[in-house]
Amino acid sequence: MKQPVILTCAVTGGDDTAGRFQAVPVTPEQIAHAAIESCKAGAAIAHIHVRNPESGKPSMELALYREVVDRIRDSGSEVIVNLTTGPGARFVPSDSETNQAQPGSNLRPPLERVQHIVALKPDICSLDMGTLNFGKGALVNVPGHVETIAAAIRSAGVKPELEVFDTGHIALALDMIRRGLLDDKPLFQMVMGVPWGAPATTEVLAAMKSMLPQGAEWAAFGVGRSQFPMVAQALILGGHIRVGLEDNLYIAKGELAPDNASLVRKAANIVDLLGSRLATPAEARAMLGINAA
């Protein structure tokens, strides 16, 4: 029997989508509910950002992360909690001033970006493995900052999910593993289809997979219209999968998704049609070497 596939649902993300799209969860209660409902629909992992409850804008407030995590844990849901460390890297340079940032930047010291991981000790947290042109600016993750965040994650006893947006990011991850700065069995997450990152194609995904250590656990996802094609492609190549309103707002062409759970159910149908099944949270914990909650 084929090994089950782990599905992560990225329930809200850090882009300025709330307010324009009603389905995007905003408050801690809404975000926790989305994580719990995605698990009921088949997701083993919920990847979580937080937002300012009043404005809907992305936030880095520890209290908001704490409320989301507490709500999920208190609910009795078995979903594996995966918190982001991505916020705090965005830099939009001034067009006219030297060494100046424009509005939209949110650069933070690396330890500030990981404070909620140290405090809350989720099961998993993401770790962006490199810099990427993004929108009008860049997501800046220089090696020294990546190493600082990785050390804090490791000291907290949290499993890192290495977000790799291009092949150079994998090269940095492999070097850090070799130097003992990352555990030798992380979860690699290939991010496909972000403009000016790795294109969401079969050839590029296969090339990225070929760079990974033998037997490594890995997943991939596509943004926008590539979300569901990448579900199928990652599964065929032996990887795990991810969907959610962070990455894609549509359930079908021209049809907005009503919630995260609907995206999970569609992915589950693709998995079933391809002859596999979704892993339960308990199975995912065993596969990833995560202790039971």
In this predicted structure, the answer to whether residue 293 has a pLDDT above a threshold of 90 is no
How high is the pLDDT of residue 275?
A: 95
CB atoms within 10 A of CB 136: 13
Task: Give the mean pLDDT of 193-206.
Answer: 96
Query: Are the CB atoms for 83 and 65 separated by under 8 Å?
Result: yes
User: What separation in angstroms does the CA of 265 have from each of 38, 72, 158, 178?
Assistant: 9, 20, 28, 39
CB atoms within 10 A of CB 60: 21
C-alpha angle with apex 46: 45 to 47, nearest 5 degrees? 115
Token pair listed for 176: 């850090």
Give the residue from 163, 147, 65 showing the smallest Cα distance to 110: 147
In this predicted structure, the answer to whether residue 20 has a pLDDT above a threshold of 90 is no
Token pair listed for 259: 């919630």
How high is the pLDDT of residue 3?
A: 83
Q: What is the CA radius of gyration of the chain?
A: 18
How high is the pLDDT of residue 224?
A: 96
pLDDT tens digits for range 224-277: 999 999 999 999 999 999 999 999 999 999 999 999 999 999 999 999 999 999
In this predicted structure, the answer to whether residue 67 has a pLDDT above a threshold of 50 is yes
pLDDT tens digits for range 73-126: 999 999 999 999 999 999 999 999 999 999 989 999 999 999 999 999 999 999
Give CA–CA dist 220/289, Å, rounded: 19
SS (H, E, C) 201-214: CHHHHHHHHHHCCC
Task: Give the mean pLDDT of 153-172.
Answer: 97
Give the residue, 183 or 235, on which the prediction is more confident. Answer: 235
Backbone angles phi, psi at 30, to 5 degrees: -65, -40
User: What separation in angstroms does the CA of 148 have from each of 45, 94, 113, 155?
Assistant: 25, 27, 10, 11
How high is the pLDDT of residue 1?
A: 47
Chain mean position to CA 159: 13
DSSP 55: T
Domains of the chain: 7-288 (3.20.20.70)
CB atoms within 10 A of CB 108: 15
- Report the share of the chain in percent with pLDDT over 70: 99
How high is the pLDDT of residue 18?
A: 80
Length reported for the chain: 293
Determine the 3-state secondary structure of 220 from DSSP.
Answer: strand
pTM for the full predicted model: 0.96
Strands 50-51 and 58-59: antiparallel
Give CA–CA dist 228/203, Å, rounded: 17
